[in-house]
Structure 1
Amino acid sequence: MTLSIPGSSSKVTLLPKDARSLAGGLPPAAPGTLFVLGVNGGMSVAPDAGFRVVFGRNDPAVHVCVGADDPHVSREHGYITYERSGWVVDNVGRMPICFPGPRLLLSGHREHLPVAYTPLFIVGPRREHLLEVRVAGRASTNPASAYELNTIDPDAHSLSPVEKLVLVCLSQRYLRSDPQPQPLTWGQVASELAEVRPTEEWGVRRLGHVVGKVRRRLSPITPGLLEEEVPPPVGNALNHNLITALLVSGTLTPADLALLEG
């Protein structure tokens, strides 16, 4: 069965496959408008459209496709509906949906979406699949200016050149889209940076200090970056959470890998 789009095109609009990431901003939209983007495009839905957005891997039978080639993702994995309290996502699939933080939305559970950009990951045993969601805030007074904002990322965090170099090296497996990325070890980072910038000292203690300083600076606005916030064993969790936050905010992008070319 192929799902249909309501007749009111002004309230439900399709987003093309090549639509830019929702992390970079939105075109002019009424407050409360929902934007959902997957691998093959997506849609925007006005809060009063009375429309339920269905997502999953069965591309012909859902509104937004995610994990099309991964059988661990359910054919109809979840849906997003508008209620009086706002937009709500329901997980009806087998695998959990990971919210930033991270918070897991288990099968049969539901969660309210904030008026913000929210990257959702369907977590499988081998891969994670991104579903971008964003709820528009207050309307822009200058639509033309709002459209221009799509070319920048207002949520990016400020990093010094040394911080960015170290973090790009630490997170390069994520930036290269490895199927099961993990942060590099401090020893691996030290070895690589010694080749990239051999005239500088890249000891393990310095690397830990640089990354720890960024984690502490972002911890007031990003949970999961301090040791007391993560249940033991901590392992790579702190660096993983930091890298995820930097990727989600657009602070680090695959283009930054050029820094490792020396």
Structure 2
Amino acid sequence: MTRETLARGVPHTAPGAVVALSLSGKLTVEPVEGRTIRFGRNRPEVDVCVGETDLRVSRTHGVLTHRGGRWWVSNTGRLPIRLPRARWLFRDEDPVPLPEGYTPLFIRGSRDREHLLEMYVVGWDGGRPAIQHGAPTQPPKAWRLTPDEHLVLVVLGQRYLLHEANPQPLSRQQAAEILAELQPGANWSAKRVEHTVAAVRARLSARGVHGLRREEVGEPVGNALNDNLLRELVLSATLVPPDLTLLDALC
């Protein structure tokens, strides 16, 4: 028997309402200012029970609040909540707004279990998304890069394009040495590589890409900023494996 899921949409419901679904139950709440939904392990004291057999899940692990026309999720538990696009929401951080449509929330429990809480914020049409079997496929939103930016990021992110397990960016010094081989007269240096990459991070961050600023990832930063940048560029098909032909001159 197929398990119920909100990923396919919800039946016709009041615009702005939220539907929450876990293995333990389902709840639909209309968009009333100040209304809250609590979720966590303690079934008698929460509105939606999740992870009730797992002591790693807090008794009240999070709260959903309707404020200013939107639903906001807060973490009140000990462990972080994983949101889409590899974003983590930690205890006492600022609430995160849920977009219209489907959002899965994951709480990691004991023995690498992950407990799923599905959320669906109903749009103004009040129902399921339209079926579009024959509609043209929307192309991915590729980011515009200058030729220099494109080359630097292919060099920096070549491990991602080679499908390595758990890839990491090259260091800016490694990238500068490779670029100097590819373009001997272009005066590539580690500082120029960093300035080029930082400009792309700033531009994409201003366009709404999360995880490209120090305050968004926390300390120690390590490779997190460039890792998040490269994952965005690969997932958006801005960088693709055929770009590795730019490195053929090294062979």
Q: TM-score range by the shorter chain?
A: 0.5 to 0.7
Report the equivalent of 1:103.
88
Please give the TM-score of this superposition, normalised by the length of structure 2: 0.53
- Please give the TM-score of this superposition, normalised by the length of structure 1: 0.51
The change in CA–CA distance for 1:163 and 1:112 in structure 2 (over 3 A counts) is: same
Residue number among 167, 170, 173 corresponding to 2:159 in the alignment: 173
Are the counterparts in 1 of residues 217 and 224 from structure 2 also a CA contact under 8 Å? Answer: yes
List runs of 5+ in structure 1 lacking aligned partners.
Answer: 7-11, 13-33, 36-44, 55-77, 124-132
Q: Give yes or no for the alignment of 1:210 onto 2:196.
A: yes
Which of these residues, 235, 239, 246, is aligned with residue 248 of structure 1? 235
CA contact (8 A) 1:91 1:105 kept: no
Instruction: Read off the aligned partner of 2:182 and give its amino acid letter.
Output: V
Equivalent in the alignment of 2:225? 238
The separation in 2 between residues aligned to 1:81 and 1:259, in whole angstroms, is 52
Residue 150 of structure 2 aligns to a residue whose secondary structure is helix
* 2:136 match: secondary structure: helix
* CA offsets 1:12-56 (integer angstroms, 9 cap, x no match): 9xxxxxxxxxxxxxxxxxxxxx65xxxxxxxxx24229xx999xx
How big is the shift at 1:233? 1.8
Unaligned runs of 5+ in 2: 13-19, 32-48, 57-78, 109-117
CA contact (8 A) 2:154 2:239 kept: yes
Q: How does 1:28-107 map to 2 (within 5 A)?
A: 45-48=8-11, 83-84=28-29, 98-99=82-83, 100=85, 102-103=87-88
Identity %: 39
Distance in 2 (CA, whole Å) between partners of 1:256 and 1:122 is 37
* Bigger radius of gyration: 2
SS of the residue aligned with 1:148?
A: coil
Q: Tell me how far apart the structure 2 counterparts of residues 191 and 251 of structure 1 sit (CA, whole Å).
A: 23
Question: Quick check: 2:80–2:88 contact (8 Å CA) kept in 1?
Answer: no
8 Å Cα contact 1:97/1:120 also seen in 2: yes
Measured against aligned partners, the alpha-carbon deviations of 1:136-179 in whole angstroms (never above 9, x if no partner) come to 989999x69x83243x21x2221111111111211121222222
- Displacement of 1:254 in angstroms is 2.4
Count residues in correspondence: 188
